[in-house]
Amino acid sequence: MTPSKATPLLEARELSKRYMVGKTFMPGSGRAVHAVDKVSLSVWAGETVGLVGESGSGKSTLGRCLTRLYDISGGQLLYEGEDISEATARELLPIRRKMQMIFQDPSASLNPRRRVRDMLAEPLAVHKIRPRNEIGDRLAELMGLVGLPVEYLDRYPHEFSGGQRQRIGIARALAMEPQLIVADEPVSALDVSVQAQVVNLFADLRERLNLTYVFIAHDLGVVRQVSTRVVVMYLGTIVEMGETESLFAAPAHPYTRALLSAIPRLSASGERIVLEGDLPSPLDPPKGCVFSTRCPLATDLCRNERPKLTAGANGRSVACHTPLAS
Amino acid sequence: MTDPIRPALLDVDHLKVSFATDRGRVTAINDVSFRIDDGEFVAIVGESGSGKTVSLLSILGLTDRRTTFVEGTAAFRGRPILGLPDRELRRIRGKQIAFIPQDPLTALTPVHTIGWQIVEQIRTHETVSKEAAKKRAIELLDEVGLPNPAAAFGRYPHQLSGGMRQRAVIAMALSCNPALLVADEPTTALDVTVQAQVLDLLKRLRRDHGSAIILITHDMGVVAEVADRVMVMYAGRVIERGTAREIFAAPEHPYTWGLMASIPPVEGPRPHRLPSIPGTPPTPANIPPGCAFAPRCAHRFAPCAGLPPALSASGHDAFCFLDDNARAAGRAALFAAPETAA
């Protein structure tokens, strides 16, 4: 099947991920936590989808379900129109090549006992991407792409700074010549001055290699900088999504507005909406709207009936009974 | 500004901290001087390895004395505290100076309830009955905004969320009404909406209790939000200091410009590329001689091989050779209308 305008690169249809907690040997014990609850999301070739939300929102779990790093518990996942929800590891192998993941902590995702050269060469050999005699050239090319000197190929991970390690993590993902990269908090462990370098690298690589990204981050400034579209998650569900600049300029969901207003800014502007309390337990989600327990505008309707994610004008979708006017 | 009769709350002079490592002595902090007055909110900003945490831990006597060498002086209300025996330091720490660490889990023991830990803290420093201490602990939990404080009193740390734990630690820090609160990245592990709650709490504490607060952070946005005065640290030295108003209006040091410019904006036009500082911050073991920022600085010139003139005793100043005109030009170039995405 060829990708076309009509087929998203990656599509989740009512995707769910449940975990059982408190399960003992007694039959029927334990309860299900809905980490991701019936999320539908299409990722189109060439775009960068920013996934934002606070801890417990399910954004990382969703990212890992999208790459089938986690098995999904419900719904469907399609890659270029092909259903891969139930695909076995063997069936997934060709798709894994096209879909790579980059993780938050580059030191935890690199093997401390192996040289960069070996870590980058292994996937090339496993997936038989390049003949053996071309691997050396490809490695040099990869290092060039991520802005590291070729000599660093013979170093071990501990010899690098955090920013350089993350560049190696990116090089390893690029080794597979993927179409789609799911990056889970790729810059949040980096110092501010280094973070900007890596954010720029992501943008450069997208242009040079025609990549599509799903970019998961809690830093809203970073997400705004890299994304073409933003998806806001809360308690395992999507509460709002839309085109980046319009979503930041005029959020429609009260949660998005509170989240944006909470960012400390260099120049004091606008009033801050300080939310009361914490995220509700995903074991015991509110009956109505997921945000109704903390929403300053919640009504009885909100507390009793969960609003559906509804598409509006300009590609904006919002799950709210009383969305804010722009 | 300096009151000759009344000593500063905390007066640090020429602080130098070095560590014994297997590659010899490594100097992490060099020539750091500052003073904090009652009720001030001061932020120390820097990246990892800049020495912002080590400088305060060493002032509070919380570093390992066998491997860490602290030189210079630090006086709390006029009384020297560097090198005081632990017994005496403990009477100041926890009572007059309280410390809030980045990760509340490391400050709480998992085997006792939150309430038990606060009561212990109160009874260590004051002679009060258990009942009175308990009552006070519940009041404190209420004050830091924990919902249902009486129930929270009986909870164990693992039963609370990250934001609630950080508030419990703040309640513990407040239990003896400290004159100085040192908070090391207190919101870094928290989500942005919870961070907003904790920052509001810190501002309220300063207002209601008159405590001075030293906030250690890497986040310029947080600084702009809360601080009166700012010290920017790089490679173990204070490289810029001034009031928050001065520093945000006209930062003087090229490193501070870089820090501020590299934050992606959440409003206004999106820059096509983020201005970034090349390279990485040095670790204490390989701090370059002369101006430590020079290798990463776009404005370096011959004099930068030497050490810039010391900061003036007061007012807004930067540890840099550039003159006022060069600083104004450099700043203008970086903060002028950014190139925006098409």
Which contacts qualify for B138-143: CB closer than 8 Å, 24 or more apart?
B140/B171, B140/B172, B140/B174, B140/B175, B141/B114, B141/B115, B141/B167, B141/B168, B141/B171, B143/B171, B143/B174
Helix (H) or strand (E) holding A66: helix A59-66
Helix residue spans in A110-219 (DSSP H): 116-126, 135-145, 162-174, 192-209
pLDDT of A174 strictly over 70: yes
Which residue shows structure tokens 């038990």?
A: B116
pLDDT of A3 strictly over 80: no
Distance CA B56, CA B9 (A): 14
Is B89 within 8 Å of B61 (Cβ atoms)?
Answer: yes
pLDDT band at B5 (very low <50, low <70, confident <90, very high): low
To test the contact with chain B by mutation, choose from A160, A207, A222, A225 the residue with the greatest count of B C-beta atoms within 10 A, namely: A225
Distance CA A75, CA A65 (A): 11
What pLDDT does residue B339 have?
Answer: 43
Q: Is A196 on the interface with B (CB under 8 A)?
A: yes
pLDDT one-digit tens code per residue, B130-186: 999 999 999 999 888 887 899 999 999 998 888 888 889 999 998 888 999 999 988
Nearest CA in chain A to B163: A278
Q: Which of A18, A15, A34, A33 is nearest to A214 (CA)?
A: A15
Is B273 within 8 Å of A200 (Cβ atoms)?
Answer: yes
Assign B212 to helix, strand or coil: strand
Look up residue B279 and give its amino acid. G
Nearest CA in chain A to B200: A274
Task: Give the domain ranges of chain A.
Answer: 241-326
pLDDT of A129 strictly over 90: no
Is B53 within 8 Å of B184 (Cβ atoms)?
Answer: yes
Question: Residue B264 and residue A224: Cβ atoms within 8 Å?
Answer: yes
Handedness of CA B161, B167, B169, B175 (dihedral sign): negative
Question: Residue A218 and residue B280: Cβ atoms within 8 Å?
Answer: no
Q: Is A159 on the interface with B (CB under 8 A)?
A: no
User: How far apart, in Å, do the first and last CA atoms of chain A sit?
Assistant: 40
To test the contact with chain A by mutation, choose from B260, B276, B331, B334 the residue with the greatest count of A C-beta atoms within 10 A, namely: B276
Q: Which of A132, A127, A138 is nearest to A97 (CA)?
A: A127
Is A276 within 8 Å of A298 (Cβ atoms)?
Answer: no
Q: Which of B182, B183, B215, B218 is nearest to B49 (CA)?
A: B218
Question: Residue B266 and residue A224: Cβ atoms within 8 Å?
Answer: yes
Q: Is B221 on the interface with A (CB under 8 A)?
A: yes
Distance CA B93, CA B62 (A): 10
How far is A176 from chain B, CA to nearest CA, in Å? 26
- 10 Å Cβ neighbour count for B68? 16
Between the alpha carbon of residue A255 and those of residues A223, A265, A295, A323, the distances in Å are 17, 18, 7, 10
Helix (H) or strand (E) holding B230: strand B229-234
pLDDT one-digit tens code per residue, B208-267: 888 999 999 998 989 998 999 999 999 999 999 999 999 999 999 999 999 998 889 888
Question: Residue A274 and residue B197: Cβ atoms within 8 Å?
Answer: yes
pLDDT one-digit tens code per residue, A28-50: 777 888 899 999 999 999 999 99
Q: Is B219 on the interface with A (CB under 8 A)?
A: yes
pLDDT band at B189 (very low <50, low <70, confident <90, very high): confident
Which residue shows structure tokens 């934002």?
A: A52
How far is B73 from chain A, CA to nearest CA, in Å? 30
Which residue shows structure tokens 């690589």?
A: A205
Distance CA A129, CA A116 (A): 18
How confident is the model over A67-82, as a mean pLDDT? 94
Distance CA B295, CA B304 (A): 9
Of B68-72, B116-120, B268-272, least confident by mean pLDDT is B268-272
pLDDT of B94 strictly over 90: no
pLDDT band at B194 (very low <50, low <70, confident <90, very high): confident
